[in-house]
């Protein structure tokens, strides 16, 4: 985070870097990173929001600058630590990075998309660290190994040898332990099995709310559900907003769906909008997930807690009076207030709607509440054939490792699939193809260390940065 290029000084010394320069270098790094990973947001607002291309590009850049501000602050803190502690301060920079990354996930509702630790989700031996310290612990490991390399390059003699040996030992120990954990695989033999059917209807976004497409969409999901049960599914999951009507407000559609679960005698989890009417004709709209019992009754309803900014609500809407003709035409969803357990026979599970699955604390809250299996329902049709669905699926996979739970994911256009408690993908679909996935998962009750202690590593990182800035006296 602190540029060292061009330095020709002696080992053990660092060039001076003004705070503003460190901040700008961190900002530049963040902007490049987030433009490269969030470029697809421009396609979404241009295609479905009717925004001109130039404005869509500007929106991506503004989002990248906002997201990039967090690593910029991390770079600034890192520069101050190095200014106070000298070259040894490099070993404190990972704590500054993790602190800024954690705040990115909680500030103003949070948007913890693609944190550094998520880069290791397919490197399973390293990713197992998430079961102990969460994704921020994996971020700390990646940053620390790189910090040790930088420290070794700027030192010589015994300090260089010791630092490299420590880095190699840390990485090797983590990798060996993680490999042994995956090879053991005891969680895949524990608990009670259930065959879950995941439905990928592949309904184009532009067709979802067309009145003349509603019957086709509904009958497609019903037929695919029968197919899943015919292949042994004991429980079926549809994606987010899968019904082409509001479930509770359409008597005919509601009756048909309840009759289906009674006919097949399986529970059904599906996404549908929900309206709640209050005093003075006030109406609240929720993005919800309904669980129907095998008898056709509503067993539970979960309302989405983390809403998508600009997609499901307008941030600072009251202050955007200068664009009120545009803002006033958009309907805000209301956030849910609590995680809800969904009954499946004698067991309870939880679900996350859309990008909620990227929030580690929400999944941890579900497991604390007794969830024996994680599910997530989403509609990634918005993102087109971009990298977003792949990023989204991998971010969801990290939650399975953190919580030591199977994760079942139903996505409208993909990626639909199952991930085991070690982050191994058991089965997944391709994008933009109708698919029915029937796979065995297990209800698990054992809890990981991370599910018990939470983001201790992030709090420790913040404390370390604060104490270091207070205790270490500035160097001349």
Question: pLDDT tens, 355-387?
Answer: 999 999 999 999 999 999 999 999 999 888 899
In a domain, 236, yes or no: yes
pLDDT at residue 320, as a whole number = 47
pLDDT digits (tens, 9 = 90+) for 171-216: 999 999 999 999 999 999 999 999 999 999 999 988 888 889 999 9
In a domain, 421, yes or no: yes
**Three-class SS state of 232:** coil
Range of the domain at 311: 191-445
Say yes or no: 133 and 46 in one domain.
yes
Say yes or no: 241 and 138 in one domain.
no
For every residue of 95-126, DSSP letters joined together read HHHHHHHHHHTTGGG----S-GGGGGTTSHHH
pLDDT band at 331 (very low <50, low <70, confident <90, very high): low
pLDDT band at 277 (very low <50, low <70, confident <90, very high): confident
Average pLDDT, the chain: 90
**The tokens of 285 are what?**
């709209």
Say yes or no: 133 and 195 in one domain.
no
Give the chain's domain count: 2
Say yes or no: 57 and 149 in one domain.
yes
In a domain, 6, yes or no: no
Say yes or no: 179 and 269 in one domain.
no
Dihedral sign for Cα 357, 309, 55, 36, please: negative
| Maximum separation of any 2 CA atoms in the chain, in Å | 79
In a domain, 8, yes or no: no
Q: What percent of the chain has pLDDT over 90?
A: 78
- Specify whether the CB–CB gap between 409 and 429 falls below 8 A: no
Say yes or no: 165 and 240 in one domain.
no
The question of whether 240 is a catalytic residue gets the answer yes
In a domain, 420, yes or no: yes
Chain mean position to CA 358:
1
**The tokens of 350 are what?**
């939880």
In a domain, 323, yes or no: yes
295 pLDDT more than 60:
yes
Among 101, 208, 354, 356, the one annotated catalytic: 354
CATH code of the domain in which 221 resides: 3.60.110.10
Element containing residue 376 per DSSP (H, E): strand 374-378
In a domain, 258, yes or no: yes
The question of whether 213 is a catalytic residue gets the answer no
- Specify whether the CB–CB gap between 224 and 199 falls below 8 A: yes
Among 304, 312, 356, 372, the one annotated catalytic: 304
Say yes or no: 120 and 204 in one domain.
no
CA dihedral 357, 421, 388, 63 (to 10 degrees): 50
pLDDT at residue 8, as a whole number = 39
Say yes or no: 253 and 324 in one domain.
yes
Say yes or no: 397 and 464 in one domain.
no
In a domain, 4, yes or no: no
Spell out the alpha helix ranges (H) of 239-320: 251-264
Say yes or no: 92 and 74 in one domain.
yes
Among 240, 312, 402, 439, the one annotated catalytic: 240
CA-based angle 156:476:96, to the nearest 5? 70
The question of whether 304 is a catalytic residue gets the answer yes
The residues near 70 (Cβ < 8 Å, ≥ 6 apart) are 30, 100, 101, 103, 104, 107
Say yes or no: 156 and 122 in one domain.
yes
Element containing residue 48 per DSSP (H, E): helix 40-49
Higher pLDDT, 133 or 54: 133
Say yes or no: 169 and 249 in one domain.
no
């Amino acid at each position: 985070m602190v540029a060292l290029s061009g330095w020709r000084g002696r080992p053990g010394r660092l060039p001076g870097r003004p705070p503003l320069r460190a901040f700008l270098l961190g900002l530049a790094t963040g902007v490049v990173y987030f433009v490269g990973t969030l470029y697809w947001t421009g396609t979404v607002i241009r295609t479905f929001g009717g925004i001109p291309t130039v404005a869509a590009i500007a929106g991506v850049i503004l989002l990248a600058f906002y997201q990039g501000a967090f690593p910029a602050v991390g770079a600034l803190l890192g520069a101050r630590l190095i200014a106070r502690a000298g070259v040894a301060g490099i070993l404190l920079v990972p704590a500054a990075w993790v602190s800024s990354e954690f705040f990115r996930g909680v500030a103003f509702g949070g948007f913890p998309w693609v944190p550094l630790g998520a880069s290791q989700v397919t490197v399973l031996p390293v990713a197992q660290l998430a079961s102990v310290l969460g994704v921020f612990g994996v971020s700390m490991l990646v940053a620390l190994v790189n910090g040790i390399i930088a420290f070794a390059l700027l030192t010589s003699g015994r300090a260089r040898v010791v630092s490299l040996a420590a880095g190699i030992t840390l990485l090797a120990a983590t990798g060996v332990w993680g490999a042994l954990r995956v090879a053991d695989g005891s969680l895949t033999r524990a608990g009670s099995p259930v065959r879950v059917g995941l439905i990928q209807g592949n309904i184009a976004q532009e067709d979802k709310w067309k009145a003349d497409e509603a019957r086709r969409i509904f009958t497609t999901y019903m037929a695919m559900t029968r197919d899943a049960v015919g292949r042994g599914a004991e429980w079926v999951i549809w994606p987010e907003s899968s019904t082409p009507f509001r479930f509770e407000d359409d008597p005919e559609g509601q009756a048909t769906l309840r009759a289906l679960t009674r006919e097949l005698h399986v529970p059904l989890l599906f996404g549908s909008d929900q309206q709640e009417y209050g005093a003075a004709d006030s109406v609240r709209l929720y993005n919800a997930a309904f669980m129907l019992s095998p008898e056709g009754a509503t067993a539970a309803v979960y309302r989405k807690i983390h809403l998508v900014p600009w997609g499901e609500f307008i941030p600072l809407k009251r202050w955007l009076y200068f664009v009120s003709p545009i803002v006033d035409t958009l309907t805000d969803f209301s956030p849910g207030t609590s995680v809800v357990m969904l009954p499946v026979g004698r067991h309870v599970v939880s679900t996350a709607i859309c990008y909620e699955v990227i929030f580690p604390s929400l999944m941890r809250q579900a497991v604390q509440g007794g969830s024996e299996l994680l599910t997530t329902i989403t509609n990634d049709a918005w993102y087109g054939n971009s990298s977003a669905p792949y990023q989204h699926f991998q971010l969801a996979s990290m939650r399975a490792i953190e919580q030591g739970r199977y994760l079942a994911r139903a996505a409208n256009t993909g990626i639909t699939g199952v991930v085991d408690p070690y982050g191994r993908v058991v089965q997944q679909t391709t994008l933009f193809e109708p698919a029915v996935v029937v796979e065995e998962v297990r209800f698990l009750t054992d809890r990981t260390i991370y599910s018990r202690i939470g983001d201790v590593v992030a709090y420790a990182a913040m404390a370390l940065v604060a104490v270091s800035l207070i205790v270490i006296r500035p160097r001349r």
